A and B are shown apart, each in its own frame.
Chain A
Amino acid sequence: MKELRMILKKEFIHIIRDKITLALVLAMPIALVLLFGFTISTDIRNAKISVLDQAKDSQSKLLVDKITASGYFQVVAYPENEVEIDNDFKNKGIKLAIIIPPHFEDKLSKEHTANLQVINDVSDLNVASILNNYVRAVVQGYTEEYNQDSQAGFDITTKMLYNPESSSVYMFVPGIITLIMVLVTALMSSITLAREKETGTMRMLLITPVKKIHIIIGKVIPYMAISFIGTIAILIISVTVFKMPINGSLLMLLILCIIFMLTSASFGLLISSISQTQVDAMMITMMGLFLPTVLLSGFLFPLNSMPMVFQVLANVFPAKWFILAIKDVMIKGSGIFDIWMYLLILLVMAVVFIIFSLTRLDKRN
């Protein structure tokens, strides 16, 4: 135990004495979350849309008027059928199409419900999700007015064809948390372990009787701690500045983050176990972990619109499972019974990575 404490002390000394890296690692989460937050939440005005009004009755006209009056949208086409909508996407550059079902007014008054279809151009996911929210807000306002007039209780559901999961603006917070944790824990742990190989201190460590698992733990815990601080900072900013809701339990969220950090750090160790220099470790982390995390985690690009190969490949990277879990916890408010599968997957990955690193650490040939 004394050895482990000493190793941890040494790692923390490395971290504290390297002022530039420390500042970078602590400031980066805050900078990233502010950057993403403010660029993504920029208002969009006069987005081009088209409306397929299959009802053409007084209520449908009223709804279209509301949509136009909101200032968010500019109706550039009134197609006659769904095929034309497709053409509008291609030729008129519309960002969104709304389909009002036939007999809209009748349905509202008789069934007290009607289905509005919203079709998005998800080539820019962020714009699409913002516009969806705008539509929802306009429809919400319309519903409230209608209900006031007629005293009838009903609601309207919107349906997003290309993006059925209804991604929200807040999607970026789980994404940033993922990136930060991958960057800090995986990159830092892989670089520092590779540095010990490069400078020869690893040889000095290996010929001492110290247990290999202690060396490994020493590389994992400190960077988990640093990245934990970053995660807390992101959460505080998200909640206070961007009014991000945390619907699930905070404890559940933190436990989830800690488990993901462990997985990321062990992935970092795995990388350093196959690299000889710090540059190797950095390149492999960037290409082999960071890029897939950005591209294949479902954070920026929805997974189910990707070719099957990538969807399968995404399963190998811990980020996908973490994003699924953290979205459930933060947005849906899920608890342990809903996300235990994801936690288990992340833990199993961590164990596999650590075992592999252990076998490679003292490779004597």
Chain B
Amino acid sequence: MSAICIENVSKSYGGKVKAVRDVTFSVEEGEVFGLVGPDGAGKSTLFNILTTLLLPDSGNIKMLGMDVIDDYKAVRQIIGYLPGTFSLYPDLSVQENLDFFAVMYKSSIAENMSIIEPIWKQISPFKDRKAGKLSGGMKQKLALCCALIHCPKVLFLDEPTTGVDPVSRKEFWDILKSIRKHGITVVVSTPYMDEATRCDRIAMIQEGKIIGINTPATFIENFKGKLYTFKSEDIFSLLNAMESCPLDCNYYPYGEHCHIAFYDDIATALPQFEKFLSDNNLQHDEIRAIAPSVEDCFIEIVQRDFSH
């Protein structure tokens, strides 16, 4: 059974800006589902709709058989929500915040200790500190504790790692791994493409539309172009030069590497490209074929308009 079924959901603000456009997908029970896309793509609006805080203009949503729009009170009992911005009481201590939300959910800390324990262990040394005085990472962990305090069946995490350094991000994903052991369905949004591979399935979202849903592995399998990588001393002058390249290809910097995806016949494209580089006096090392990453897939789908 699907944990969440979303059908043809649309939402616009002030009749003008279409924040979410005709979105349809489903999330399976117990999976970690990633909503990947840049800021302003509609992730937060979709989250607000799924967490019953916002009514869509049209469409249906079922969560574990309940109607999110009509039966929102029941839905609220089974969801946990970690908003994108820190939304706890800064003048209450860590312990007071947790106690407060436990009572609001008619639950208690002791009851669900097994779920929050791995996180609680890390923040309990600061339990008398005011929440507003915690560091960013600690705030996030406290917020996660509060979202889990009633043992929700579905957990929504709105950009939990945005603006967080790579190490804290890794820690956060390790915590998520421990949460899913309790059978909690997790829906998480992120602008970081590299995090997508840690999800069971991902939906790429751009300008309010879902431009692809699949497992990360399937996305990579479905990559249409032939992807090559090489190193160059000056990847950005190369970027300028590529504007005059006659080949049907996608070129972009990728960390210290340059990525190029060919859409022409590869047997002729690669030699033509090498000739183009040498004609333009562009230095490079060996051009190797590589497997695409989720980020490569996103770039391909957006730039070549392969969305379905």
A adjacent to B, CB under 8 Å:
yes
Q: Which residues of A contact B (CB under 8 A)?
A: 2-3, 6, 10, 13-14, 17-18, 199-201, 203-210, 364-365
* Chain A-chain B contacts (Cβ-Cβ < 8 Å), number: 67
CB of B191 to closest CB in A, whole Å: 19
Q: Say whether, besides A201-B88, A208-B76, A6 and B103 are in contact (CB < 8 Å).
A: yes
B100, CB-defined interface residue at 8 Å: yes
CA distance A3 to B88 in the complex (A): 17
Is there an interface contact between B87 and A199, defined as CB atoms closer than 8 Å? yes
Q: Which residues of B contact A (CB under 8 A)?
A: 51-55, 72-73, 76-77, 79, 81, 83, 85-92, 96, 99-101, 103-106, 146
* The residue from B54, B99, B105 contacting A208, defined by CB atoms under 8 A apart: B105
Apart from A205-B104, A207-B81: 16 A-B pairs, beta carbons within 8 A = A2-B103, A3-B106, A10-B100, A13-B96, A18-B91, A200-B83, A200-B85, A203-B83, A204-B83, A204-B88, A204-B146, A207-B51, A209-B77, A364-B53, A364-B72, A365-B54
Q: Which 10 interchain pairs have the tightest Cβ spacing?
A: A200-B87, A208-B104, A6-B103, A364-B55, A365-B55, A17-B91, A210-B104, A204-B87, A207-B76, A209-B77
Question: CB-CB < 8 A to B51: which residues of A?
Answer: 207
Is there an interface contact between B53 and A201, defined as CB atoms closer than 8 Å? no
CA distance A3 to B99 in the complex (A): 11
Q: Say whether, besides A209-B77, A364-B52, A364-B53, A201 and B106 are in contact (CB < 8 Å).
A: no
B85, B91, B96, B104: residue with the most chain A Cβ atoms closer than 10 Å: B104
CA distance A364 to B61 in the complex (A): 15
CB of A326 to closest CB in B, whole Å: 35
Question: CB-CB < 8 A to B106: which residues of A?
Answer: 2-3, 209
Is there an interface contact between A201 and B87, defined as CB atoms closer than 8 Å? yes
CB of B260 to closest CB in A, whole Å: 43
CA distance A74 to B101 in the complex (A): 71
Question: CB-CB < 8 A to B83: which residues of A?
Answer: 200, 203-204
Closest to A14 in B: B91
Is there an interface contact between B54 and A209, defined as CB atoms closer than 8 Å? no
* The residue from B90, B104, B146 contacting A6, defined by CB atoms under 8 A apart: B104
Q: Say whether, besides A10-B100, A365-B55, A204 and B81 are in contact (CB < 8 Å).
A: yes
CB of B133 to closest CB in A, whole Å: 12
Question: CB-CB < 8 A to B146: which residues of A?
Answer: 204
Question: CB-CB < 8 A to B103: which residues of A?
Answer: 2-3, 6
Question: CB-CB < 8 A to B76: which residues of A?
Answer: 206-209
Closest to B54 in A: A364
Question: CB-CB < 8 A to B87: which residues of A?
Answer: 199-201, 203-204
Question: CB-CB < 8 A to A6: which residues of B?
Answer: 99-100, 103-104
CA distance A291 to B252 in the complex (A): 61
A-B pairs with beta carbons under 8 Å apart, 23 shown: A2-B106, A6-B99, A6-B104, A10-B96, A10-B100, A14-B89, A17-B91, A18-B91, A199-B86, A201-B87, A201-B89, A203-B81, A204-B81, A204-B83, A204-B146, A207-B52, A207-B53, A207-B76, A208-B101, A209-B73, A209-B77, A364-B52, A364-B54
